[in-house]
A and B are shown apart, each in its own frame.
Chain A
Amino acid sequence: MLRKPLGAGLALTLALLAGTSAIAQQRVLTFNTDTSDPAPKAAFEALIADFEAEYPDIDVQVNLFDHEGYKTAIRNFLTADSPDLANWYAGNRMKPFVDAGQFMDVSDVWADNNLNDQLASAESSMTIDGKQWGVPYTYYQWGMYYNKTLYEQVGAKVPETYDEFVENCKLFKDAGIDCLTTGTSAMWPAAGIFDYFNLRTNGYDFHMALTAGEVEWTDPRVRETFAQWNRLVEPGYITANAAAIDWQDAAALLSQGKAANYIMGNFAVATFKDGGMTDDTLGFFPFPTINPDVARAEDAPTDTVHIPAGAKNPEDAKTFLAFLARPDVQTKLNTALGQLPVNNQSTVDEADPFLSQGFTMLSEASGLAQFFDRDAPAEMAASGMEGFQEFMAYPGNLDDILGRLESDRQRIYK
């Protein structure tokens, strides 16, 4: 059953409950979720229908929130009126709630269902203080999306190494095409670029240490990351005025053939295809190698479901989490979402080149980062992304930017 958190919806639900006495005897499981976009909404409706079919004595009541509004709402409902289940994100994003005792420890669900094996790739991002605090059900890869037609036009080959990528950029520049496009008006696209430059230059462990505040931002290794990045910034290979462009408008530049590459998450494929691209013109490759001594790690933000500490029906909520973690359930859910299942025994749609490429890439990765704004604490993420945005416009300000980030680091991770 689906209802909006509105008075009218509530009244309607009550009317329905009164009308069918059978439902009244069911145990109720309330689920607050932000899956308000059309595809996720349909995917979750199907998921819940399957769950209710398997557990007919449990009635799942969904409170659907707007995707952006949810980020604020969760703070209110966790403290005021807890549901039994709530959507959230892995990594540092869930840390404030875990630290404040708002999420329930679900390590027993993991242990009882052999999830430490099946969800191995996401275990570290779900673990705080040696315990697991939720169940991941989907993730998606980040990487380089490119316009195949433009590659043919200028005679460029898909690069393996960053040096090759930079050489390609020269070809694109001469043809009057932006080699790399991005739209950072919402800031987070800049973080994806930084993540990859840092992961490829210094590796996963360093990246994690940096986002955890253990490394100085003025460290020479961080400077090396920006020096590599600058090989694209200084010659003007990146779309100008990116700071005032929405990511969707930058996606349009790629589909219109004005830009060749775009570092993005897999959710952007739908946007590229809306812009007229097909599997024949849109391509994907993992971010090229910068330092060959560094093992490849990728960005793969993970979406999760948690049980709030104030849940009224935690037993059935745990049943739901175990159900959600199952390989067959994750396969079906992610086919509908157009994303990747976390369970390593699930399968992906082979016909979708982006999903199958992403699945291979992530299963071969040496580590999975959650994305800068989920790995770093919120405040550090905000000032970091602002710095990356500024760097792409004014690379000469780098010393100033790093100095600021370092002083923020010392304040934020006290």
Chain B
Amino acid sequence: MTALPDAHGPKRSWWKSNQQALTPWLFLAPGIFMFAVYVIWPIYASFQFSFYDWDGLSPKKWVGWGNYQELWGDRNFIISLKNNIIWLVLYMLAVPAGLGIAIFLNQTVAGIRIYKSLFFFPFVISQVVVGLMFAWFYAPNFGLFFKLTEWLFGTGTAVLANPEYATYGIIVAGLWPQIAYCMILYLTGLNNVAPDQIEAARLDGAKGLKMLWYVVLPQLRPATFIAVVVTVIGALRSFDLVSIMTNGGPFGQTRVLSFYMYEKALSEYGYRMGYGAAIAVVLFLIMMVFIAGFVWKMVRDERGH
């Protein structure tokens, strides 16, 4: 008499017994692989490069903390850091501005979809195109803005040639699509605001700002969270606009860290890979502060406040 195979016996295959635990990892494997190769490893490599003096051709030379020491004395690095802070602060205007437009557009009028898409339009076009348009807008001698200031004050203001205004000029260009982005986030958020709560609040006599602050905004918290996250990240990686509109000029006064990193490591006059990597590490650490904060908040929310 042959023994019947016992389904629950000790002879279960290794795969079967571990299936439950392994499956998620199998599904995650391609993602983990890509993330490790294209994100984790480059981060590690950047940290490593930042301790070397390397032009990309000759052998690497170990300089320890030399690149970081040089950064502290580097006037251009300080300018970039300062501009990054200005970007971070002013870019935040996109969140309330986006909310304002979203509330304004959140009504049922004939053709509202057209208005919404017109407001959303700047986010659809490429940052490069936005940069070019604003560069022409500000351009000395023929730009619309230049002509306007010339007509108003007698002498035209060339925003991008003026070291004091240039960064603000670029931020305005950046805000245009960013506001549109925040607006869309809030518009979808407003769709989910519970009408019964609005009704109840109205019965209790809430209206205007009070209604917005105590009833609507708390329900928009997920949208606000995402809007702040994308705006912070957008401000920190503000590379394309700077590159297109001023190329870091006039005389390097509009540089931001991401642009300075590119300039030092990869541009025509750069090829100091180690120094560029050191700038990248600093930028990464600044971003890490925000990212860690966001992740911490998300984890806390998921665990149920």
Contacts and interface: CB of A to CB of B under 8 A. Distances in A.
Binding between chains A and B: yes
In this complex, the interface size class of chain A, counting residues with CB under 8 Å from chain B, is 35 or more
A181 to B, nearest CB: 10
A253 interface: yes
Among A99, A100, A244, A390, residue most surrounded by chain B Cβ atoms (within 10 Å): A244
A253 B251 contact: no
A72 interface: yes
B234 interface: no
A387 interface: yes
A337 interface: no
Contacts of B270: 378-379, 382
A94 interface: no
Given A186-B247, A378-B271, A96 B55 contact: yes
Interface in A181-208: 184-187
A185 B138 CA distance: 13
Interface string B130-142: 0000000011111
A393 B161 contact: yes
B57 interface: yes
A243 B163 CA distance: 10
Interface in A238-266: 240-245, 249, 253, 258
A244 B140 contact: yes
Interface in A54-86: 71-72, 75, 78-79
B72 to A, nearest CB: 13
A147 interface: no
A244 B163 CA distance: 10
A75 B159 CA distance: 36
Contacts of A71: 268
A241 B158 contact: yes
A72 B251 contact: no
Contacts of B193: none
B147 interface: no
A187 B250 CA distance: 9
B247 A379 contact: no
Interface in A362-414: 373, 378-379, 381-382, 386-387, 389-390, 393, 404, 411
A96 B58 CA distance: 9
B129 to A, nearest CB: 17
Contacts of B11: none
A390 B250 CA distance: 7
B83 to A, nearest CB: 15
Given A75-B271, A378-B271, A187 B249 contact: yes
A97 interface: yes
A343 interface: no
A102 interface: yes
Interface string B153-180: 0000011110100000000000000000
Contacts of B64: none
B42 interface: no
Interface in B261-276: 263, 266, 268-272
A240 B140 contact: yes
B252 to A, nearest CB: 5
Given A96-B57, A102-B57, A244 B247 contact: no
A36 B216 CA distance: 57
B204 to A, nearest CB: 56
B84 interface: no
Q: Which of B57, B142, B251 is the most central at the interface, judged by chain A CB atoms within 10 Å of its CB?
A: B251
Given A242-B161, A244-B161, A96 B140 contact: no
Contacts of B161: 240-245, 393
A159 to B, nearest CB: 26
B249 A389 contact: yes
A240 B58 contact: no
Interface of B: 55-58, 70, 75, 138-142, 158-161, 163, 246-247, 249-252, 263, 266, 268-272
Given A244-B139, A244-B140, A393-B251, 10 more contacts: A96-B58, A97-B57, A185-B249, A249-B139, A258-B141, A378-B270, A379-B272, A386-B249, A389-B249, A389-B251
20 contacts: A72-B266, A96-B271, A100-B57, A102-B57, A185-B246, A185-B247, A241-B158, A241-B161, A243-B249, A244-B159, A245-B140, A249-B139, A378-B268, A379-B269, A379-B270, A382-B270, A386-B251, A386-B252, A389-B251, A393-B163
